[in-house]
Chains A and B, each alone.
Chain A
């Protein structure tokens, strides 16, 4: 599995650290249910998913990867700072 970092180009999966589903962080006062959903609950899709990876041994960028959990296909990868929320 290889990930196309927008800065470094296509790199081995070993260079990246997996963080998990790319979710929008709730406001501090959003309440218990919103924070529980953000921290713990997952759609856990069998198919297309958006997730955060960290290019740990590369450029250090956080990227949002679009990936298929059934096939390992990765049709998209963009910088988390620029990704649409």
Chain B
């Protein structure tokens, strides 16, 4: 079933009875070439690119719940390529280019909206840092425009420009940044992988990883054992538990990150806007809800719900930046479990076990990475070589101290990101 404008019209005129399920409900077979543990955005895009780029379709994605039920369905949907450090910047630049062709590629409407992203600055020092970041983005081949105060005002006149503590001095504008419909990204990749023969197996929790002679042999699941030549762990917040099944401890600590959405409103915020003081970022969904979030709660958690101090900080930051937001009512808030690494950057690498691969550590920024993460991880799984765009995301960088990618510059330590 291909989607098209013509098809939508035809189905609309015939009672929408012609739509079919987007993927098969596959049952697990006894053996696969590659088993991917985790049916989230990264796992599904990995499966898709394994099939598309490398012709590997004897692949299963094992998901303990339902496809896309984790962080890919819980994030604030921001897509951007405004990273500064080598290692990160080429990767996110590559990812944004994949985003720009994603809907045609998948024949799926992921509602990718390049509405622009503005990172505000509130001091001279912060302006200089953003000017430098903008130059790094331009050098990478991406887009960045340093806006002065009046430039920001043209985009977002509702900000409290003359706030006593945090006046808005300007912003770094990234026109190709924006948002996407997060669930649709998972669904689009799932459908694409399924059409190329990948088995997407839901309600199938991995309970053990069998290793013999230093090589991965099979996985034990709630739906029986499955032999595999290669096993890929792509389980975000649950990376610690799944890696422990293979006898590994990871440089990962799982934290809760909260997000919020207001009741639906008429269009009021055109871009994605990020406060430069306090932790607050906001955009408006196509349904009209203001989608916003802040920092992690700053303690290890698997509770998928947060505490009030983080809520309070987000609300205070929102009110400081755009007092009008006080008129909107919060409709829902929720938490996702994010896999934090010491330097705040991800891991796409082999492990010491032959045939066992790891994709984790996406911290609070995994959504925008979904296309490139899957493509680079598929490349590693298929060829055993790192993809150029993700060559820096090594597992051993903490042990060796080489290649730390500390975007925030706070130090490669667990409680600082």
Contact = CB atoms under 8 A, between A and B. Distances in A.
Given A19-B415, A42-B250, A44-B250, A36 B398 contact: yes
Interface in B243-259: 244, 249-254
A1 B300 CA distance: 13
A19 B415 CA distance: 6
Contacts of B238: 46
Contacts of B251: 40-42
Nearest to A32: B399
A44 B253 contact: yes
B307 A72 contact: yes
Contact of B307 (A1, A32, A44, A70): A1
Interface in B207-260: 238-241, 244, 249-254
Contacts, number: 73
Given A36-B399, A69-B303, A72-B301, A44 B413 contact: no
B374 interface: no
A72 B303 contact: yes
Contact of A44 (B300, B303, B415): B300
B27 to A, nearest CB: 28
A4 interface: no
B312 to A, nearest CB: 9
Nearest to B304: A70
B108 interface: no
Interface in B293-307: 298-303, 307
A20 interface: yes
A13 B309 contact: yes
Contacts of B250: 41-42, 44
B276 interface: no
B309 A20 contact: no
B24 interface: no
Given A13-B307, A70-B303, A20 B240 contact: no
Given A32-B399, A37-B249, A42 B303 contact: no
Interface range on chain B (Cβ under 8 Å from partner): 20 to 34
Nearest to A44: B240
B253 A42 contact: yes
A70 B337 CA distance: 11
Contacts of A19: 415
Interface in A9-61: 12-14, 18-21, 32-33, 36-37, 39-46, 49, 51
A37 B301 CA distance: 20
A18 B296 CA distance: 12
Given A40-B251, A40-B398, A44-B254, A14 B301 contact: no
Contacts of A69: 254, 300-303
Contacts of B298: 18
A47 to B, nearest CB: 8
25 contacts: A1-B299, A1-B307, A13-B299, A19-B415, A20-B253, A20-B415, A32-B399, A37-B249, A39-B342, A40-B251, A40-B398, A40-B412, A42-B249, A42-B253, A42-B414, A43-B244, A44-B241, A44-B252, A45-B240, A46-B241, A51-B300, A69-B254, A70-B302, A72-B303, A72-B307
What 9 A-B pairs are tightest by C-beta distance, nearest first?
A44-B240, A40-B251, A41-B249, A40-B398, A36-B399, A46-B302, A18-B299, A1-B307, A20-B414
Given A42-B251, A44-B240, 13 more contacts: A12-B309, A20-B300, A21-B253, A37-B249, A39-B398, A40-B251, A40-B399, A44-B241, A46-B238, A51-B299, A69-B254, A70-B303, A72-B303
